[in-house]
Structure 1
Amino acid sequence: MHILIIGAAGMVGRKLTDRLVKDKTLGGQEISALTLVDVVAPAKPAGFAGAVETITADLSAPGEAEKLAAKRPDTIFHLAAIVSGEAEADFDKGYRINLDGTRFLFEAIRQQGVQQRYAPRVVFTSSIAVFGAPFPDKIDDEFFSTPLTSYGTQKAIGELLLNDYSRKGFFDGIGIRLPTICVRPGKPNKAASGFFSNILREPLSGQEAVLPVSPEVRHWFASPRAAVGFLVHAATIDTARLGWRRNLSLPGLSATVGEEIEALRRVGGDKAVNLIRHEPDATIGKIVDGWARDFDASRAESLGFKAERSMDEIIRAHVEDELGGKIGG
């Protein structure tokens, strides 16, 4: 099996690569080749016996999607995107990367199948940002998409394209709406949701963090560990079970910022909590106010998708996976 990961240098892309290398198989098939693509050079994974190709490319640039589709991979993970805050701040870049890149990829796959049958599994990472207020208490998969950000709009269009290209048989697609991934390792990025991780990650390493919103803000979370599990499961699921609805809201945990902080206290103590400094940011607050807070993910759960049940679990996963089980700077 040949697997293509677009966005392989990102946090989730790197962790997905590591998981596939460790597992050596996907859906019972041996992984013989990996093609890893990003706008910065992805690292070659250690310990993989098959062929590995790393490519530095912008999916939205003319001709790049065609080159990747010409390799005819069996499974394609499309993770590439710019994040919410950046897409909102730079309208042109957001549509070029998040929409044009996605459409170019889907169309390149379709063209590969014109001469000779080719219909790979395509896993597209969407977002809960496709939904906009006003919200019910819990959002299910039947709730209408009315995104209130450019990022959410770009992802919603990608979902519609994935449905249509799958309906026509051009590829076998599944779109997964990821919760906000927390705790993200590394340094803060330009995502408006970044503070959800920052207020846990930095204090756990003995560093100060800024909280730009009220502790009453509620959001939908899953860990990086769960995100990789989502992707692997999406690549192997029987898509006939999806029917014509190819996009899913995935399981997660609904929690307030205050509940995050109390879980941090239980895991890291008062010393960690005291490193959080509250500095309200009206711009971030406005963006966050338009985000969904809780979901009914029973459809995805019935299909075998799983996530954490508590914020303590999410924090402990970060401590185990990123901090070697140790807390503090």
Structure 2
Amino acid sequence: MKILIIGGGGVVGQKLGRALAARGVLRGRNINRITLADISTPADIADARIPVEAVRCDIADPASVAACVTADADVIYLLAAIVSAHAEEDFDAGMTINLMGTLNVLQRARALGTKPIVVFTSSIAVYGGEVPDPILDHTLLNPQTSYGAQKAMGELLLNDFSRKGFIDGRGLRLPTVSIRPGKPNRAASSFMSSILREPLNGQEAICPVDDDFPHYYLSPRKCVENLIKSGEIEEQSLGQNRCMMMPGRMWTIRQLIDAMTAVAGPEPAKLIRWEAQPEIQRIVKGWRFDLQPEKSLKLGLTADESFEDNVRYYLEDDKPSA
């Protein structure tokens, strides 16, 4: 079993690579090699029990994709993307990476003739606008951002390539993954980690929305578990729509901060500064909130039990040493 993770330099890609290397098995078969690919050569996985290679891959370049996606790839995780606020600011970059880059990977997988499994990370940003609550798996996709539109188009491609028998695809609409380690990125949702991560690290953070703002969350640890499970689902269980919501939980900003206080005490919350940012508010308030991930739950994927768990996972897995 050989696994390719495109977007293997990112937070989720690195965690997925480490989890698979530690696990050693997928779909009942031994993993013989993991390849991490990204626009810049990803960091290697130290002390892996199985061979792990790190390579450069630009999904906007078909030749680069062809060199990376080889015929021995049994499972391809397609995680690479231009994130939400970046895609909104730079329409052409978003289209080049999020739409054409996805198409390049799917076309290459088709050309292999081996029908590899392709696990594609979409986003809850595909929902929005004038559709009624609750949001179900088959609710009309009505994105209100360029990023959401590009992810929705990727889902349609994944479904059609699967219907034609070119690939065995499965798409997961990710909740906001929090608490993410590292530095803030250009995602509109980036503050949903930074307002917790920075205070837990003793640093000030800015919250651009009110404390009653609700959103749909999942921890990095649980996200990786679900990505692994999604690669093991049998094709016949997926039905005619290969794309679904990944399970998450709905919490307000105040509930996130209360969870942090319950785990880490009152001091971190004092480092949060409230400062409205209309451009971020415009994007995130266009996302829909009452999400009910029935299909993925039936297929065995799971959400965090509480946001206190998200905080504990960050402290256990990712908080920098003093």
TM-score over 0.5 for the pair: yes
Q: Is the 8 A contact 2:125 2:145 kept in 1?
A: yes
Which residue of 143, 153, 178 maps to 2:149?
A: 153
Which residue of 235, 250, 257 maps to 1:254?
A: 250
Residue 272 of structure 2 aligns with which residue? 276
Gaps of 5+ in 2: none
Q: Deviations over 1:243-298 (max 9, x none)?
A: 11100111101011111111122122221111000010000000011012131112
Residue 60 of structure 1 aligns with which residue? 60
Q: Deviations over 1:139-191 (max 9, x none)?
A: 11121001000000000000000000000000100000110000000011111
The 1:173–1:91 alpha-carbon spacing in structure 2 relative to 1, beyond 3 Å, is same
Report deviation, 1:135. 4.9
User: Which of 173-182 and 58-67 deviates more?
Assistant: 58-67
Residue 136 of structure 1 aligns with which residue? 132
1:193 alignment partner, SS class = helix
Separation in 2, partners of 1:192, 1:261? 19
2:265 alignment partner, SS class = helix
Residue 185 of structure 1 aligns with which residue? 181
Q: Is the 8 A contact 1:81 1:97 kept in 2?
A: yes
Q: TM-score, normalised by structure 1?
A: 0.95
Gaps of 5+ in 1: none
Residue 124 of structure 1 aligns with which residue? 120
Separation in 2, partners of 1:184, 1:39? 20
1:203 alignment partner, SS class = helix
Report deviation, 1:57. 2.1
Residue 238 of structure 2 aligns with which residue? 242
Asked if 1:318 is matched to 2:319, the reply is no
Report deviation, 1:49. 4.3
**1:1-329 aligned within 5 A:** 1-113=1-113, 118-323=114-319
Q: Is the 8 A contact 1:21 1:47 kept in 2?
A: no
Q: Is the 8 A contact 1:59 1:105 kept in 2?
A: yes
Q: Is the 8 A contact 1:252 1:309 kept in 2?
A: no
Opposite residue 233 of structure 1, the aligned amino acid is K
Q: Is the 8 A contact 1:121 1:235 kept in 2?
A: yes
Q: Is the 8 A contact 1:220 1:292 kept in 2?
A: no
Separation in 1, partners of 2:12, 2:77? 11
2:20 alignment partner, SS class = helix
Opposite residue 141 of structure 2, the aligned amino acid is S
Q: Is the 8 A contact 1:177 1:248 kept in 2?
A: yes
Q: Which runs of 4+ in 1 moved over 4 A?
A: none
Opposite residue 308 of structure 2, the aligned amino acid is D
Q: TM-score, normalised by structure 2?
A: 0.97
Q: Deviations over 1:83-102 (max 9, x none)?
A: 10101111000000111110
Root-mean-square deviation over aligned CA pairs: 1.4
2:72 alignment partner, SS class = coil
Q: Is the 8 A contact 1:60 1:97 kept in 2?
A: yes
The 1:124–1:275 alpha-carbon spacing in structure 2 relative to 1, beyond 3 Å, is same
Separation in 2, partners of 1:28, 1:62? 32
Opposite residue 76 of structure 2, the aligned amino acid is I
Separation in 2, partners of 1:70, 1:256? 44
Q: Is the 8 A contact 2:130 2:142 kept in 1?
A: no
Separation in 1, partners of 2:317, 2:48? 21
